[in-house]
Amino acid sequence: MAHEPDPYSDFHSAETGKPFQDCISCGLSLDDPNLPYLVSKSFRRDECIFEYAICEDCRSNMAQEFSPESRASLAHFFEERVNVKARSILLAFGSDPNPWIEKCAACQTPRIEMESYSMGGVLLGMEMLFDPYPLCLCGKCEEEIQELLSKKTRGMWDDFVDTHFEGPPADLQNLPVTGRPALF
Ligand SMILES: [Zn+2]
Ligand SMILES: [Zn+2]
């Protein structure tokens, strides 16, 4: 069967080439059209080195466990550095995710110039939910965010990675393992 190219293929699994099937945390199937889920992918240059999808419930449970200081720091970072209002203008592009992810949301470096970066997008069934996602953060800004997180929150993140990823893949060692909680 021939298919139209999916406009959200950047948010499919790089491993399978297909939409993510289930939540990395609870294993729930992601085809429930009432349950949004976040896709997070990290790249070095063009290569995807880390990816997962997590359902809204697990994502908010995890965010609850962030220390209050970390949550405050993250909120502050986004207020100061990510111009959320200006990004809303991108809604004019309709269902095209590209304008949302062509630059780092914080420092505006074009994605093609980045050594490493992460992208996050929220999907609901076959649809994408816009504003403030999808977004892209460069490795440098991710590192900056990492510095803002409390030890406890960083430990939580490490546990998440240990639990859900076999490895650690050698690649993961060189990641700015760091900013990912920012994509929660
Ligand atoms: Zn889940
Ligand atoms: Zn940046």
**Can you tell me which residue has the tokens 């990492």?**
146
Residues 6+ apart with CB under 8 A from 139: 114, 115, 116, 117, 118, 176, 179
Distance 4 CA to ligand 2 centre (A): 32
Distance 60 CA to ligand 1 centre (A): 10
Report CA(10)–ligand 2 centroid distance (Å).
19
In three-state secondary structure terms, 68 is helix
pLDDT, residue 91, reads 92
Q: Is 137 helix (H, G, I), strand (E, B) or coil?
A: strand
10-residue mean pLDDT profile of the chain (184 residues): values are 74 94 94 92 90 92 88 89 89 93 96 94 92 92 88 85 70 48 49
Which ligand minimizes its atom distance to the CA of 32?
Answer: 1
Give the distance (Å) from ligand 2 centre to CA of residue 89.
20
- CB of 27 within 8 A of CB of 21? no
What's the one-letter identity of residue 55? C
**Nearest in space to 148 (alpha carbons), one of 75, 73, 80:** 73
pTM, two decimal places:
0.88
- How far is the centre of ligand 2, averaged over its atoms, from the C-alpha of 144 (Å)? 9
Give the span between the Cα atoms of 184 and 179, in whole angstroms.
10
Q: Domain residues of the chain, as ranges?
A: 31-183
> According to the model, what pLDDT value does residue 183 have?
53
Distance from residue 59's CA to the centre of ligand 1 (Å): 7
Quote the pLDDT of residue 178: 41
Cα 55 to ligand 1 centre (Å) = 4
Separation of 149 CA from ligand 1 center, angstroms? 23
What's residue 177's pLDDT? Answer: 44
